[in-house]
Amino acid sequence: MAVADRTYQASDLAGTGRREFLAQARSGEARLRDTDGTSLLMVREADYRALAALRDWILAYLVLENALARPDHQRVAADLGVLAWAAVFDNDDVGEFRRELGDALIRAAAARDVAVVIRVVEDWHRTARALSDPASRAVLTGELRDEDFVEAGPPSTVVEEEEPADDGEHAANPHQG
């Protein structure tokens, strides 16, 4: 993203400076000093929204980091902030989530695209929802034992049952009109 090298004045926008100002904003950013001395920065909306979303996810990550700094027996779901749903994970899993989220944040910041963060969070959230259901949790976290497996035999042939005797009202072949 190109950094603004010129500060425009409000009066510059009345003439040809407006085209230059907009061109500079499209290529990265354009700076404007308002009549009261306030410096304003114009950037593409997509860039602004990506940076704002990235800021929010970084804050969520820092809250998670802060929660994980405490012993797990002192931690409650509320300590995780917007990521409170992650409380269903054991320490190893929440640590893996933290690592994946941190990596996604770095990639998102580099690309100014928060989509990678959203994918990671959605995937982990989906897993947390599955673990919240006791039956699903038992299946997902249960240990497999040798007796859980059985020898598979050869595929059996399908035995077709005979059709009941036709009483004359129905066609012999059910697929005929």
What does the pLDDT look like over 89-145, one tens digit per residue? Answer: 999 999 999 999 999 999 999 998 999 999 999 999 999 998 888 766 666 777 556
CA separation for the pair 10, 170 (Å, rounded): 87
Looking at the fold, whether 131 and 52 belong to one and the same domain comes out as: yes
Is residue 64 in a domain? yes
Domain that holds residue 101: 46-141
Residues 39 and 73 in one domain: no
Check whether residue 15 and residue 100 sit in a common domain.
Answer: no
Check: CB of residue 28 under 8 Å from CB of residue 3: yes
E-state strands within 17-117? 29-33, 39-43
pLDDT over threshold 70, residue 1: no
Q: Are residues 107 and 129 in the same domain?
A: yes
Residue 21 sits in the same domain as residue 98: no
At 166 the pLDDT is 54
Domain match, 54 and 137 both: yes
For the whole model, what pTM was predicted?
0.68
Given this model, what pLDDT does residue 137 score? 66
Q: Chain-wide mean pLDDT for the chain?
A: 84
Bridge-based pairing of strands 29-33 and 39-43 is: antiparallel
Rounded CA separation 105/112 (Å):
10
Would 125 be classed as within a structural domain? yes
DSSP label at residue 132: H
94 in the same domain as 24:
no
54 or 142, higher pLDDT: 54
Same domain? 35 vs 98: no
Q: How many domains is the chain partitioned into structurally?
A: 2
Listed in sequence order, the DSSP H helices in 12-169 are 17-26, 45-68, 91-111, 115-132, 134-141
**Is 176 part of a structural domain of the chain?**
no
Instruction: Decide: 22 and 43 in contact? Cβ < 8 Å.
Output: no
Q: Which of 59, 54, 9, 67 is closest to 34 using CA atoms?
A: 9
pLDDT for position 175: 43
